[in-house]
Structures are given as C-alpha cells and as structure tokens.
Amino acid sequence: MQVKDMTVEQLRDLIRHTVEQCLEEYLGDPDAGLEVKEEVKLKLLASMKRKQAGESSIEAGEVYQKIGMKA
C-alpha cells in the first residue's frame, strides 16, 4: 500500500508506530533485565483482581495520605 492510498487514520497509525520504534531504538527499555520483586507482583495481582471485581484499586484519600497531601 502506498501512502497516497492510506486513510488519515492509517497514516496516523503508521506515523505513531514509526515514532514508537524509533524511540525504542534510541532510548531502549530502562527496565530491561531487571526483576520484579515478589511483593510488587503480589500487589499488582491483588489490584488486578479488585479491578476485575469492579472495585476501586485504591481510594483517592489513601493516595493523598501516602504522598503527604491533604484531601
């Protein structure tokens, strides 16, 4: 397919994909080769289960409290 035959959306997708590839080539993945701690894995799994059950992952007030902000 030639660019002249693409829809605007197809061209945007092509550009987006190309930019993502270029960024990956230049910047790489800073987390490549690192392992996820078991504690983090368990927290992520619990969060995913809560989300699937339709629950909120964490209340906004709890986030504010953890980062030291007032609600």
Q: Does the pLDDT at position 68 exceed 90?
A: no
Instruction: Say if CB 46 and CB 53 are below 8 A apart.
Output: no
How many domains is the chain partitioned into structurally? Answer: 2
Do residues 52 and 40 share a domain? yes
Do residues 28 and 44 share a domain? no
Of 65, 48, 66, nearest to 57 by C-alpha is 48
Do residues 44 and 26 share a domain? no
Per residue in 53-66, pLDDT tens?
A: 888 767 778 888 88
Do residues 39 and 26 share a domain? no
pLDDT band for position 71 (50/70/90)? low
E strand or H helix that includes residue 32: none
Arithmetic mean of pLDDT, 8-22: 95
Instruction: Say if CB 6 and CB 14 are below 8 A apart.
Output: yes
Q: pTM of whole model > 0.85?
A: no
Do residues 65 and 40 share a domain? yes
Per residue in 45-54, pLDDT tens?
A: 988 898 898 8
Do residues 40 and 28 share a domain? no
Domain limits at 51?
Answer: 35-71
Alpha carbon distance 51, 44 (integer Å): 10
